[in-house]
Amino acid sequence: WFSGAVKINVSLVPPLVLLPVFLHVAALHFLLGLIILTSLPVVVLWYYYLTHRRKERTLFFLSLGLFSLGYMYYVFLREVVPRGHVEYSQVVALTCGLILMLAALSRAKKDPGYLPIPAGNEEPSHQGLASKGVRGSSSGLHGISGAASSRAVNGEAKGYCRMSAGQPEGVKKDWCTKCQLVRPARAGHCRLCGRCVRRLDHHCVWINSCVGEHNHQAFILALSFFMLTSVYGITLTLHTICRGRTPFVALFYCPGAYSDYSSALLFTCVWYCAIVTAGMGYILLIQLLNISYNVTEREARLALRDNTGRRLLGGLVIDTGQYNRGLLCNWGHFLSLGSSPPQRSAEDIV
Query: Where in the sequence numbering do the catalytic residues fall?
Result: 204
Which 3 state secondary structure label does DSSP give 276? Answer: helix
Q: Which of 69, 18, 32 is nearest to 264 (CA)?
A: 32
CB 213 within 8 A of CB 113: yes
Dihedral angle sign, alpha carbons of residues 111, 203, 162, 213: positive
The residues, any chain, with a CB within 8 Å of residue 203's CB and separated by 6 or more, are 190, 192, 193, 209, 210, 211
Question: In terms of DSSP H, where are the helices of the chain?
Answer: 13-26, 30-53, 60-75, 88-108, 127-130, 216-241, 247-252, 261-292, 297-306, 327-335, 346-349
Dihedral angle sign, alpha carbons of residues 261, 264, 266, 268: negative
Read off φ and ψ for residue 211, nearest 5 degrees. -110, 115
Cα angle 147-153-159, degrees, rounded to a multiple of 5: 95
Dihedral angle sign, alpha carbons of residues 46, 69, 207, 321: negative
Question: In terms of DSSP H, where are the helices of 117-259?
Answer: 127-130, 216-241, 247-252
Q: What is the DSSP string of 23-53?
A: HHHHTT-HHHHHHHHHHHHHHHHHHHHHHHH
Q: Which of 268, 233, 238 is nearest to 250 (CA)?
A: 238
Provide the b/e sequence for 122-148 (b: ≥16 CB within 10 Å).
eebebebbeeeebeeeeeebbbbeeee
CB 160 within 8 A of CB 170: no
